[in-house]
Structure 1
Amino acid sequence: MRRIFVLVFLALAVTYVANAYAEQPRLATFHETATVLVDQKLSNNVTASISLQTTSLQEFQIPKELDAKIHNDTNVIAVIITNEDQCVLGVQDRVCVMINVKRVDSEGPVQEAQQKAKTSGDMIIGDIDKFLGFDTKFHSAFIHYDDSANQVLGTEGQVSGRDTVSAVYVMPFQSSDYLFNTLAGDLIPSQIRGMGGFYDVAQKLAKDDSARVTFTILPKGQISYMQLKVAEKYPDSARQMSEVDPLKYFKVDELKRSEYYKAGFFPLNSIVHVVILPQDQSTTATANSIIEKTTTGNQTVPASLESSGYFFDSNSGKKIDAMYLYGTTYSANSNDLKISFPNSALASSPISIGTTEIIILVVIGAVAAGAIVYYLKGIKSR
C-alpha cells in the first residue's frame, strides 16, 4: 500500500509540474550524472561512473525510521555501502557497511573514538540489515588518518577523510550486478526505474566484473543527500589519449535522459561531466557543440539553458572541466559528447602536483554538483 501511495504521489507531482511549469527551467530533486575522469598526471587511469542522486525519501525510499535514527545521532556524518575492493585497510573482497562519525582530537584516546563509532554503528546497522536483507558482522572501528579512502570511493573528505572514524560491518562479497539491483530495487520506485535514462546505463555498467557500486547517505540538517553510484576504472589508458568519447566507457551508442524529465523543462538534472588532468598544461580542449558563456554577478554561467552542448568551466591548464547540458533535447550521441585535447608536448613522466589537484570528487553533499553549482552561480528560473 505504501508503494502504491508513493507511485500515485509521484504521478500527481509530475502531472502538476507538466501543467504549471512546462516552459520554465526547473530543478527536480532527482538527478542523473555521468562522469568521466581522464587522469594523465598521476594514475594514468580513466574512470567512468553513473550517479543517481536525490534528497527525496519518495525517490530513494529508505525507511523513515532509519532516516530518523541517522539524523537523531549527531555523531553520524555518513553511511556508506560498497563492494569496493578495499573499503578500509584490512578488508578485502567483502561488502562493507560503514557508519562514519567525526573524531575531535580533544575527545580523548584512540580507543574512545573507536568505541564512539561502534556505539553509533550498532544503533543503526540492524535497521540497515533488515531493510536490505543483509547479514553483516562487525569488523573493526577504523580511523582515517589520510584521504586514501576518498580516492577509492570518490567521496568528500567529510564522508571518509582525515579524522573520520568508520564503524565497519562486513558480509560476503556480492557482484556489482547483484548489489546494484538489490539496492536499486529496494530504494528506487519501479516507476522511476522504468523511465530509463542513466539508470539503464548504470544497470548495464554494473554487469562488468570490474565495476563497483557505492551507496551513500549524507545527513545534512533535516534532509538526507543520497547517491547510488556505479563506477568502472580503465587502468593505464589515459596518457595516450588526445580525445575522449564518454559513450565508449558507458558502452552505449547514445546517452538518453530519463523520461522522468519529460514532464517539464529540467535542463540541469541530466549532466555529462568530463574532467581531464592533462600532462601538458598548454593543452586546449574543444568539442563539436559548445555553449557560450556569460557573466552574472561576477560568475561565469552558460548563456543559454535551451542549447545543448558543453559548458567549459575550464578548457586548459591543470584541469579541463566540462559539463554537457542537454538543453531541450533528450539524447546525446558520440558526435555530441566527444572532447578533443591534442597534446603539444607529451610529458615522459607524471607531473608532481598537490593532493587537491589530483583527487576529483563526486560531490555527494551537493547532489548533482553541476546543477547546484549553476544555480548558485546565478541561473534562475525564467
Structure 2
Amino acid sequence: MQKILILFGMICMLIVATNYAYSQEIRLATFQEVAQIVIDKSISQNVTASIALQSSSIQEMRISPELEQKIRENGRITAIVLTNQNQCILGVVDESCIIINVARDMEDTDFLTIQNSTKKISEAFIDELNTAFDTNAEFHSTFIQGNDLMGKALESSGIVSGRGTVSAVYTMPMEDTGSMYEKISAILLPSQIRESGGFYDVAKNLSTHEKAKMTFSIIPLGNKSLLQLKLSVDYPNTALSITEVNPLELLKTNELKRSEYFSGKFYPLNSILQVVVLSPESINVSNIRGNTIETQIIDNEKIPKEITKEGWIFDPDQGKRIEGKYIFGERKSIDKNELIFSLEGNGIVPKKIETDFNESIVIVIIISVVAISAAVYYLKGYKKLNK
C-alpha cells in the first residue's frame, strides 16, 4: 500500500510540474473555470450541471499557507471537503458537512482501530478548518468507503475517494446554497476574480436554484494542492429522456462567457465546457450545431490541431461513454444554440434500471476530477504537436 501511495504521489508531482513547465510556453494560467454536464443513463439516471472554479495557487483560492502545507505534509489526507449536499455521506441528513478523507492504514484491521486512527488525524485539522471556513462543524462519524462505482463508470481513478479511503465527517446546520456560496466565494476568491465575471457569474446565478448545492475541496497533489469551488444542480430522473443535449439550458444561461481575468493574454485552455454521457447501451453523437475542431490521434487520444479555433472535440464520440470538450479558442463567449448536439442509438431511452445507488459527495467529487484534467490533457497534446 505504501508503495502505491508513493507512486501516486510521484505521478501527481509530475502532473503539477508538467502543468507549470508548459504554462510558460502557451500561457496556461493556474486559475481554471470548467463547466460540466454529466448525463448518467447508466447508474443514477440523473443529470448534473456544474461550474467548477479551481486553482493550485493559494493567492487565487485563499487558504492560509500554513494550513495548506500542513494538509499536504500529513501524507494520509487525500481530500478535505466542505459541502451542503443533502446527504454528504451515509447517515447524514439535512446537515452541511466538512469531510476529511484519509487513506486507510492497512495495518488497522478492525473498525474501532480504523475509526480511532482516522479521527486522530482529522481532529488535528478541524479547528483550523472551522476558522478558515467560518463554520462550527462538530464530529459526527467515520465512514469506510467500500467501492468506486462512479469512478469505474467514468474510467477514472478514485483520487478523492473509493476503496481504501476512510472519511471523518463533521456536521453543522444546513445552510442554503445561495448564501453559503456567496460567503465561501468571498472568503476564497479575491475581488479581481469575482468581479471578472465569466463562469463565476453563471455559478452565482445558478446558486439560487432550488436544487443547487456547493462543494469546496482541497486535494493535496505532491508539492501543491488543487483547490476547487464547485456549484452543481441535479435534475433527478431526467437522463433517460434526453436525446438532444443543450448544455447552457441546464446551466440556466443563454451565453457562456469567459472570465475577464484572462483578458489581455491568450489562455485558450483555461475555460472549458465538458459533457459526459454514460449509457448502458452504445450511443453516438449526431447533429452537432456548432463547430468541431480538426484533430489528429496522438497516443490513442484525439488532439486539436489548432487551439485558436473554437469548437467541440468528442473523444470518444460513440459507445457506452461519450465525452465532449468545447474549447473557446480566441472567442470570449459562446451562444447556447452553438452548443447543441443530439444522441442516437439503442441506449437513448433504455428500460429504467432500479438501483439503490447513493449519490453521496464522494461520488460528486469523483465526477469533478474528470473535469480537472481537461486543460492539462489538451496542453500535453499541444506540446507534442509543436515539437
The TM-score bracket by the shorter chain reads 0.7 to 0.9
1:187 aligns with 2:191: no
Q: Return the offset for 1:305.
A: 0.3
1:264 aligns with 2:265: yes
Q: CA separation in 2, counterparts of 1:352 and 1:374?
A: 37
The residue aligned with 2:7 is none
- Cα pair 1:297 1:378 within 8 Å, conserved: no
Q: Return the offset for 1:278.
A: 4.1
Residue 348 and residue 339 in structure 1: after superposition, are their counterparts in 2 closer, same or farther (change >3 A)?
Answer: closer
The residue aligned with 1:202 is 203
Q: Return the offset for 1:68.
A: 2.2
Alignment of 1:1-382 (within 5 A): 25-147=26-148, 157-278=158-279, 280-288=281-289, 289-296=291-298, 299-343=301-345, 346-350=348-352, 361-364=366-369, 368-379=372-383
Q: CA separation in 1, counterparts of 2:149 and 2:347?
A: 31
Q: CA separation in 2, counterparts of 1:38 and 1:321?
A: 10
- Cα pair 1:216 1:226 within 8 Å, conserved: yes
Q: Return the offset for 1:220.
A: 1.5
- Cα pair 1:299 1:378 within 8 Å, conserved: no
Residue 196 and residue 160 in structure 1: after superposition, are their counterparts in 2 closer, same or farther (change >3 A)?
Answer: same
Q: TM-score, normalised by structure 2?
A: 0.84
- Cα pair 1:88 1:149 within 8 Å, conserved: no
Opposite residue 308 of structure 2, the aligned amino acid is E
- Cα pair 1:87 1:149 within 8 Å, conserved: no
SS in 1 for 2:67: helix
Residue 156 and residue 295 in structure 1: after superposition, are their counterparts in 2 closer, same or farther (change >3 A)?
Answer: closer
Residues 109-144 of structure 1 show CA distances to partners (whole Å, capped at 9, x for unaligned) of 221221111111111111111122211111112222
- Cα pair 2:268 2:329 within 8 Å, conserved: yes
- Cα pair 1:31 1:367 within 8 Å, conserved: no
Residues 303-359 of structure 1 show CA distances to partners (whole Å, capped at 9, x for unaligned) of 210111101111111112110000000101112211112346755414799x9xxx8
Residue 297 and residue 164 in structure 1: after superposition, are their counterparts in 2 closer, same or farther (change >3 A)?
Answer: closer
- Cα pair 1:31 1:54 within 8 Å, conserved: yes
Q: CA separation in 1, counterparts of 2:281 and 2:151?
A: 26
SS in 2 for 1:200: helix
SS in 1 for 2:107: helix
SS in 2 for 1:121: helix
Residue 196 and residue 115 in structure 1: after superposition, are their counterparts in 2 closer, same or farther (change >3 A)?
Answer: same
SS in 1 for 2:231: strand
Gaps in structure 2 of 5+ consecutive residues: 1-23, 358-362
Residue 206 and residue 279 in structure 1: after superposition, are their counterparts in 2 closer, same or farther (change >3 A)?
Answer: same
Q: CA separation in 1, counterparts of 2:215 and 2:317?
A: 30
SS in 1 for 2:248: helix
Q: CA separation in 1, counterparts of 2:64 and 2:208?
A: 27
Q: CA separation in 1, counterparts of 2:313 and 2:232?
A: 23
Report how many aligned residue pairs link the two structures.
353
Residue 134 and residue 149 in structure 1: after superposition, are their counterparts in 2 closer, same or farther (change >3 A)?
Answer: farther
SS in 2 for 1:233: strand
- Cα pair 2:301 2:315 within 8 Å, conserved: no
Q: CA separation in 2, counterparts of 1:150 and 1:190?
A: 35
Residue 346 and residue 164 in structure 1: after superposition, are their counterparts in 2 closer, same or farther (change >3 A)?
Answer: closer
- Cα pair 1:218 1:226 within 8 Å, conserved: yes
Residue 117 and residue 305 in structure 1: after superposition, are their counterparts in 2 closer, same or farther (change >3 A)?
Answer: same
Residue 246 and residue 282 in structure 1: after superposition, are their counterparts in 2 closer, same or farther (change >3 A)?
Answer: closer
- Cα pair 1:98 1:169 within 8 Å, conserved: yes
Root mean square deviation, CA, Å? 2.7
Opposite residue 211 of structure 1, the aligned amino acid is A
- Cα pair 2:99 2:170 within 8 Å, conserved: yes
